[in-house]
A and B are shown apart, each in its own frame.
Chain A
Amino acid sequence: MNEAIGESVATPPRLEWQVASVVSVTQETPRARTLVLAVPRWAGHRAGQHVDLRLVAEDGYQAQRSYSIASAPADGMVALTVERLDDGEVSPYLCDVVQPGDGVELRGPIGGYFVWEPAQRGPLFLVAGGSGIVPLMAMLRQRGRADVAARAQVPVRLLYSARTLDDVIYRAELEQLADASQAEVVLTLTRQAPPGWSGYHRRVDRTMLEAVSWPSSDEPNVYVCGPTSLVESVATLLVELGHAASRVRTERFGPTG
């Protein structure tokens, strides 16, 4: 898969299934968990890509799902963050059953459009809903590894919609990024807000996007990821606000909002 590295189109000749081992698991929120995986044959990835995971039961029954990569390309491992859907088939297994030392079958990296490269100059505007933060976090982490001069070329704003403050994945890390003025982080909570909350407390809407995004004349590169309903409405509003559709990249995780 080596020849794919550095190409603008990362397309290995064949994506082989392989068994990755779970190095560690971290509870991010009451409903989301990060699995750090050691992947034996991993030729690297680009921020925004995902892997396909395959679970096979004793009798051969199998299920496959896609999970975005949360780690930066330079991190030397593959981190996934999985949100537990109570009635789901795969996510409860990954959130409740898997432990360090277990193996999981995967192949990747996959996806060549919802990716960000540091060479893409211009402001970066990220909009996440729920676990849609995961591939955007890979972008934030990759940008965070760059030197000050390179970072100055790519100012970044994140608008992140979560149900409650406790559901904010990577909250401590995002606060650090904001405190260090590495990124502007704007949260909006769609359900309960803690007492004294002064941030947004509603679904992402036009007024919010106008207030938080760069004007379209700054030509930001926009990445929107989350449940279908959020991605649909945010992408449509951004185009209405004058952003070129070709600059608004979307990834839709789930059927419902």
Chain B
Amino acid sequence: MADKPFIARGFHGRRAAAPPGRLPPGQYETRDFPVLSAGPTPHTSLTAWDFTIRGADDASPSVRWSWDELQALPHETPTVDIHCVTKWSKFDTKWEGVSVDTLLDAARAAGVANGAFVLAYCDGGYTTNLPLADVTGGKAWVAFGYDGAPLAPEHGGPARLLVPHLYFWKSAKWVRGLTLLPNDEPGFWEQLGYHDRGDPWREQRYRGDP
């Protein structure tokens, strides 16, 4: 749409030192690691923790990993830029985790009913929805390490989803599993007016954004 921007009188801004092409529209670079979530931080012990992939209908088998079983899978250490819908971006964040591809391969092998969408579910009741294509092909991880240390609870530890090419609310904190769904189902923020997909480069912040 021909949204002609309105010039703010006397606003010059503090030019981002960010290399061109690295900061999506409306974002600014931060060196902190801000925290955003809707409620208190859950604290789940590793012995009680597990990660499950299941199908939409109850008849589908599911696969479950304990903490130790997940740790035994091949680790990857992606270095990625992350973009939060509250406007901050952080460059070159270093993570450690297991690729969602690895987990989905195991789920397929175990006969979990496939679907074109996933709903990630978390401790604390948080959910977020993603097209399967956004969590496959080396684009998404279940991450448990950040910057060389275990992921802190306020940042989603023991484990969070990491889907860096979408706004960071899609990288669900305290993740405990994925449900494969035939149809898209809005998650927590998506039901509250946030965009269904959340591509920062298209500035898909809120429902109705292009």
Q: Cβ of B28 and Cβ of A56 under 8 Å apart?
A: no
Q: How far is the CB of A251 from chain B (nearest CB, A)?
A: 8
Interface segment, A60-68, A143-151, A163-171, A201-209? Answer: A60-68
Kindly state the separation between the CA atoms of A257 and B207 in the bound complex, as whole angstroms: 31
User: A61 with B13: in contact, given A19-B6, A232-B154, A252-B37 (CB under 8 Å)?
Assistant: yes
Kindly state the separation between the CA atoms of A10 and B208 in the bound complex, as whole angstroms: 13
Question: Is B79 in contact with chain A by the CB < 8 A criterion?
Answer: no
Question: Is A218 in contact with chain B by the CB < 8 A criterion?
Answer: no
User: A252 with B124: in contact, given A56-B5, A97-B10 (CB under 8 Å)?
Assistant: no
A-B contact count (CB 8 A): 125
Q: Which residue of B lies closest to A19 (CB)?
A: B6
Q: Cβ of B40 and Cβ of A250 under 8 Å apart?
A: yes
Kindly state the separation between the CA atoms of A250 and B207 in the bound complex, as whole angstroms: 22
Q: How far is the CB of B160 from chain A (nearest CB, A)?
A: 16
Q: Cβ of B40 and Cβ of A111 under 8 Å apart?
A: no
Select which of A62, A64, A232, A245 is within 8 A of B42 by beta carbon: A245
Kindly state the separation between the CA atoms of A66 and B193 in the bound complex, as whole angstroms: 15
Which residues of A in the span 174-206 have a Cβ within 8 Å of any Cβ on B? none
Chain B 163-178 interface mask (CB, 8 Å, partner A; 1/0)? 0000000000000000
Q: Which residue of A lies closest to B42 (CB)?
A: A245
Chain A 70-98 interface mask (CB, 8 Å, partner B; 1/0)? 00000000000000000001000100010
- Which B residues touch A255, using CB under 8 A? 30, 32-35, 88
Chain B 30-65 interface mask (CB, 8 Å, partner A; 1/0)? 101111111111100000000000000000000000
Q: Cβ of A62 and Cβ of B13 under 8 Å apart?
A: yes
Q: How far is the CB of A30 from chain B (nearest CB, A)?
A: 22
User: A60 with B5: in contact, given A15-B208, A245-B39, A246-B39 (CB under 8 Å)?
Assistant: yes
Q: Cβ of B40 and Cβ of A97 under 8 Å apart?
A: no
Which residues of B in the span 73-127 have a Cβ within 8 Å of any Cβ on A? 86-88, 124-125
- Which B residues touch A103, using CB under 8 A? 6, 8-9
- Which B residues touch A254, using CB under 8 A? 34
Q: How many B residues, CB 8 Å from partner?
A: 44
Select which of B15, B191, B192, B206 is within 8 A of A61 by beta carbon: B15
Kindly state the separation between the CA atoms of A245 and B38 in the bound complex, as whole angstroms: 10
Question: Is A26 in contact with chain B by the CB < 8 A criterion?
Answer: no
Kindly state the separation between the CA atoms of A14 and B30 in the bound complex, as whole angstroms: 28
Kindly state the separation between the CA atoms of A123 and B87 in the bound complex, as whole angstroms: 34
Question: Is B68 in contact with chain A by the CB < 8 A criterion?
Answer: no
Kindly state the separation between the CA atoms of A102 and B12 in the bound complex, as whole angstroms: 15
Kindly state the separation between the CA atoms of A55 and B188 in the bound complex, as whole angstroms: 29
Which residues of A in the span 12-54 have a Cβ within 8 Å of any Cβ on B? 12-15, 17, 19, 52, 54
User: A56 with B11: in contact, given A11-B207, A236-B40, A250-B40 (CB under 8 Å)?
Assistant: yes
Starting from the known contacts A9-B193, A93-B8, 9 additional A-B residue pairs (CB-CB under 8 Å) come to A9-B192, A52-B205, A56-B7, A56-B8, A62-B5, A66-B87, A102-B9, A232-B154, A250-B38
Interface of B with A (CB < 8 Å)? Answer: 3, 5-15, 25-28, 30, 32-42, 86-88, 124-125, 154, 188-189, 191-193, 205-209
Write 7 A-B pairs (CB below 8 A) sorted by A numbering.
Answer: A10-B193, A15-B206, A62-B5, A105-B5, A110-B193, A245-B42, A245-B124
Query: Would you list the 4 A-B pairs with minimal beta carbon distance, nearest first?
Result: A14-B208, A112-B192, A255-B32, A235-B40
